[in-house]
Structure formats: structure tokens, C-alpha cells
Structure 1
Amino acid sequence: MDLDVFVSVHRAEWDRLDALLRRRRRLTGAEADELVVLYQRTATHLSLIRSSAPDPQLTGRLSQLVARARSAVAGTRRASWRDVTRFLGRGFPAAVYRARHWWVPTALVSTTVAVLLGWWIGTHPDVQSSIAAPSQLRELTRPGGEYETYYSSHPATAFAAQVWTNNAQAAAMCLVLGVFLGLPVLWILFENMLNLGVGFGLMSSAGRLDTFLGLVLPHGLLELTAVFVAAGTGLRLGWTVVDPGPRTRRTALAEEGRAAVGMAIGLALVLLVSGAIEGFVTPSGLPTWARIGIGIAAELLFLAYVYVLGGRAARAGETGDLEAADRSASVPTAA
């Protein structure tokens, strides 16, 4: 597309739209109709320029013009409880469901890595000695040692808040940094699995694996699932950079990026639940079977939420992206 010719042909329409938007008086019916038509045309022009001949200065001017026109045509839109209901009932679970082909394998591979690391550490005393001195290891793994007191060493409310903040930050980093071809996501995942494997290996070598699982499983099932979902989504976002499919790379990244941001909010709520379990249930005096049962129930509820509500919404066309009225206008482009 010859940008200079395109601008010369359509400049008058853009100037007319700008003039209508600057009117102080109330528009007549004919002028209002004209504003709507010019808004639609300018939005299409903007999409064509972005996909065919991107020019930062012209794109910036038309983006501002389209945003002003959209506000004039549709009015200022405010978030409502309807948006919250749609997000929690359709958008978020559908986005997680659509990403299942990424986060389920991520969960299986990561768990396998953690178990193998734990087995390697637990069966090799020389590896254990490289982690810490024997006296320190005994202090960590003995009854009433640091592994056990970690969950009850701070007030439950403060501990739950701290855990939630740390986990939500890790999930958000997986989602955001996925755009860098997913490489930072792999490192974050490895660090998490290494920490899990170290605890698994050291406690198993001390003959206290049952205690370790009783401390980790109540909150860990839901917490790790949220991390796996974030990591899988981040990896999918990274793959979108490599292979955007039939969409343009810009469009694909915009759609998947918006869905990922929404998932960060949803996963923060999921991690709030797991943080509450870790702060109040894990260190509680409940029997081990009851604590683990609460963790399993929370995990099953989340999976049902994703596969039942999310699956139904995804089959109905929900993607987790913004509603059409809130997205920038776009036009089909040739592959």
C-alpha cells in the first residue's frame, strides 16, 4: 500500500471527523449519522495502516481519533458487576480451559522433574552434603524442625498474605515473561521444581516423607496447579511469537496477551484460596488426612470449574479476551 496516496485520499474524512468531535454545540441527526460512518471508516483505515504500512506518527494520530470517536458514539463505559460475573463465570475458566493443552503437559513434566530431583537428592548423600552441613540437615528434617515450623512460625493471616503475594507475583511473571519465547518461564518453573525436589529428597532421606507430603499437599495441589496454568499460558504466548497461525503476529499477540492479563487476575484469586489454606489449614491441628482432604477438595473444585464451566463457555465461543465492543477494530488480512 502506498501510504502517501492513502493519506491524501482519506485525509479529508479524518479532518471532518476531528471537526465533528470538536463541535461545542449538540450535533444534528445528520451530523451524528455522519460521525458514526466516519468513525467506522477511520477505524478500518487504522487497522489497514497497522497491518500493511505501519507509521508511528500516523498510527498515533488515528488511534487518538478513533478513541475519541468511540467515546462519543458509545459513551464512556464503566465496569459493572456484569463484567465481574462474565469474567468469573465465562472468561477466566474458558481461558484456562483453552490453554489446557499447554498447562497439563507442563504440570506432568514439571512434577516428573521434581520427583526425579527428589529421588536423586534423597539417594545420594554426597548431593545432600553439598546442600548443607549434616547438622543443618538434621535441624531441617527432625520432628519439630524448620520444615515443620515454617508453616506456623508467623501469624496465620500475615503468613497467608505473604504466601499469596509471592505466588501471585511468580504466576504473573510466568504470564508476562512468556512473550520472550517462554525462556524465563522455563527458568521459573525449574526453580520451583528444584525447591520442591530438595524438600522431597531431604525429608525422604530422613524417613519423614509422610510428614512432608502432609505439609505440602493441603495447599500445594491448588498452588502448583495455578503455577502450572500460568507457566503453560506463558509458554503458549511465547510460541505465538514464533507461530501466530492464520492471524498476524500483532493481532495474535494482542489477543493472547489480553487473555493472559485476565488470567493473571483470575489466578491471583485462586492463589488467594491456596494461600488461605497454607496459612490456616496446613499448620492447624487437624489430622493429616483431613488437611490433605481439604487440599484435594479445593483442587477438584477448581478442575470442575475449569472443565465444566470453562469447557461449556469455550465451546460457545468464549476465549477470555475482551468483549468485541472493547477491542480495537480490525479487518481480515491475507495470510
Structure 2
Amino acid sequence: MSGVDLDAYVAEHDGEWRRLEQLSRGHRLSADEADELVALYQRAATHLSVVRSRSPDPALVARLSRLVLSARAAITGGSRFSRREVGRFFTESFPVAVYRAWPWWTGVGALSTVLTGFLMWWVAGHPESAAAFIGEDAAAELVESGFAGYYTEHLPSAFAFHLWTHNAWLAAQCLASGVLIVPTLWLLWNNALNVGVVGGVMLSYDRGDLFFGLITPHGLLELTGIYVAAGVGLRIGWAWIAPGPHRTRGRAVAEAGRSGMLVALGLVCVFAVAGVIEAFVTPSPLPTVFRVAIGALAWLAFLGYIAILGRRS
């Protein structure tokens, strides 16, 4: 590439480079501007390759190299921790990731609730099945003291931490195994079986008021978090089966997986709230109606948060 050709090449693409530099300065971009940034970044990378191979002008190579690097940083995000990024995660990234997957986790929640209710009804109507599942002595002990005692046998702070890590780990398993589908379905089955059998045993002994009075305050938010994790995990698996038009399976799974990582991080906070409710509110001496109201408010606040911020984002 001669000097004249190089000048013509610069004159032809200088407007694009200036626009890319403007978009890469770190201000908040609209969706159209973000798409433009990616397109211009790809072109500039090609221009840099052309200049290096045909006319390695040091000044122009340095300019394009800086431009490509700054554009890449603007696209991928910087590595520095900032309050702005944290705030953006909670106001945009997490809620929109959950909102986009709402058909999956609401479907999982509905089917799991129906299955749990059926198991509860069956065990309550067939007391001998409770003996088959956990044994007669264990069932009697569960009703007399075991179920209620579970919420008071540990210090609230330690209990909350245990619940937080346990539920976060269960959600991580649902998300990570979602690409294989069957393991996530197995985890959901075990969860429904556990709640259904315990609830059925309590109902068969006419202690349904105690069961629902203790499980509802934290269960609404906790189970919803598990259903969100499972639904997003299954969505990753479905991306492998049906990637959609103009996408390879690898790209579809990668995109769904990145969304799953955002959901996993956000659910850590959701399960922290559910753990605090279960450790401090569920076993408290407050009247049942107040304990249930606290849990219901936390649950409705989460759903409203996802619906409002997710839809807006």
C-alpha cells in the first residue's frame, strides 16, 4: 500500500474510527449504540490487520491498536470493581435475565407445585404410605416435635448461614446440570417428594396448620428461587436442543449460560433473604398471620422487582 493509497484509506475510514472512539469512552449506550459499537469494533480490527500486513505505518498501527483495545474494553467491561457496575447488576442485568426466562421458571414452579400438592394429598389420604417413606416412628416423631424443632435446634445466625449455603448450592446444581436436563428434573423431583411427604404426614395427623404456618413464611421466596434456578438451567439445556435460527448450538448454549451466571449471582442474595426469614421469622413467637405476611411481602417484592425492572430493562 503506497503513501497515496494509505492516505486514501485513512480518509475513507477516519469517520468510522472517530465514531468508534466516541462510543468507546464509557458513557452509557443505548441498544442501537451498543450494536453499532460492536460492528465498528469488528471493522476496526479488520482495518488494523490490513494496515499491519500491507503498510505497517507505526503511527497508524498504534492509533488503531489503542482504538481496538479501548473498544474491546467497552464491549467486555473493565475488570475494576465499581459501585456503578454493582448497581447496574441489581437494577438491570439480574432482573432482565430472570424476566427473559419467565416462561421457564413459572412453568417449572407450576408443575412442581402441582406435583408437590398431589404427593401431599396422596400421603395424607394413605397413612400407610408415610410409613413406607419414613417409617411409623419417624412419622410420629416428626409430628410431635421434629418438624417444629428443626427451626429452633440451632442458633438463628448459624442456621441462616446453613440455609443460605444449602439453597445456593442446590440452585447452582440446578443451573449447572440444566444443560443435561435430566439431573435438574431429578433435583426437582426430590424437592417435591421431600415437601410432599412431610406435608402429607403432617396433614394425616391433622397438623396442617402447623406445617403451613411454618413453611409458608420462607417457603414462598425460597422455592421460587429454586424454581428460577431450575427453569434457567433447563433453558440452557433447551438452547442445545433447539438453538434457533442463525445460531450454532455452541453460541446458543454460551449465551444462555452467560444469562445463567447472572441469575446464579443474583439468587445468592435472594437465598440470603430467605435464610434470614427462615431462621428469624419462621420460629419467632409472632402470630402465624404476621409471619406469613412477612414472607408473602418478601415474595411479592421479589416478583415485583423482576417484573418492573426486568420489563423496563
Q: TM-score if structure 1 supplies the norm length? A: 0.73
Residues 217 and 294 in structure 2, CA contact (< 8 A), matched pair in contact too: yes
Match of 1:134 in 2: 136
Matches within 5 A, 1:144-159: 145-159=145-159
Q: C-alpha separation between the residues in 1 aligned to 2:134 and 2:266?
A: 38
Match of 1:30 in 2: 60
Q: Shift of the alpha carbon at 1:262?
A: 0.9
Cα deviation digits, residues 241-299 of structure 1 (max 9, x gap)? 00011222222111111110110000110010000000100011111111000000001
Q: Shift of the alpha carbon at 1:80?
A: 1.1
Q: C-alpha separation between the residues in 2 aligned to 1:271 and 1:75?
A: 27
Q: Shift of the alpha carbon at 1:233?
A: 0.6
SS, match of residue 150 in structure 2 = helix
Count residues in correspondence. Answer: 264
Q: C-alpha separation between the residues in 1 aligned to 2:186 and 2:76?
A: 44
Cα deviation digits, residues 97-116 of structure 1 (max 9, x gap)? 11111111110110000010
1:186 equivalenced with 2:216 (yes/no): no
Cα deviation digits, residues 137-165 of structure 1 (max 9, x gap)? 211102xx010010000000000000010
Q: C-alpha separation between the residues in 2 aligned to 1:204 and 1:198?
A: 10
Matches within 5 A, 1:34-73: 34-35=64-65, 70=72
Whose RCO is larger (CA < 8 A, sep 6+)? 1
Match of 1:253 in 2: 253
Match of 2:112 in 1: 110
Q: How high is the sequence identity, in percent, across the aligned residues?
A: 44
Matches within 5 A, 1:92-103: 92-103=94-105
Q: C-alpha separation between the residues in 1 aligned to 2:223 and 2:281?
A: 17
Q: Shift of the alpha carbon at 1:117?
A: 0.5
Q: Shift of the alpha carbon at 1:183?
A: 1.1
- 1:86 corresponds to which letter in structure 2? R
Q: Shift of the alpha carbon at 1:122?
A: 1.1
- 2:81 corresponds to which letter in structure 1? A
Match of 2:240 in 1: 241
SS, match of residue 172 in structure 1 = helix
Q: C-alpha separation between the residues in 2 aligned to 1:225 and 1:163?
A: 15
Q: C-alpha separation between the residues in 1 aligned to 2:99 and 2:211?
A: 31
Judging by fraction of residues, say which structure has more helix.
2
Q: C-alpha separation between the residues in 2 aligned to 1:128 and 1:211?
A: 18
Q: 1:76 to 1:237 in 2, by over 3 A?
A: closer
Cα deviation digits, residues 36-77 of structure 1 (max 9, x gap)? 58x5xxxxxxxxxxxxxxxxxxxxxxxxxxx89957x99964
Q: C-alpha separation between the residues in 1 aligned to 2:78 and 2:279?
A: 42
Q: C-alpha separation between the residues in 1 aligned to 2:88 and 2:110?
A: 30
Instruction: Supply the RMSD in Å over aligned alpha carbons.
Output: 2.7
Match of 1:175 in 2: 175
Q: 1:14 to 1:188 in 2, by over 3 A?
A: farther
For 1:125, which of 124, 127, 141 is the aligned residue? 127
Q: C-alpha separation between the residues in 2 aligned to 1:69 and 1:112?
A: 50
Structure 2: any 5+ residue segments left out of the alignment? 1-45
Q: Shift of the alpha carbon at 1:239?
A: 0.4
Residues 237 and 253 in structure 2, CA contact (< 8 A), matched pair in contact too: no
Runs of 4 or more consecutive aligned structure 1 residues displaced over 6 Å after TM superposition = none
For 1:85, which of 72, 84, 87 is the aligned residue? 87
Q: C-alpha separation between the residues in 1 aligned to 2:188 and 2:134?
A: 23
Q: C-alpha separation between the residues in 2 aligned to 1:229 and 1:33?
A: 46
Residues 52 and 61 in structure 2, CA contact (< 8 A), matched pair in contact too: no
Match of 1:308 in 2: 308
Q: C-alpha separation between the residues in 1 aligned to 2:103 and 2:135?
A: 42
Match of 1:285 in 2: 285
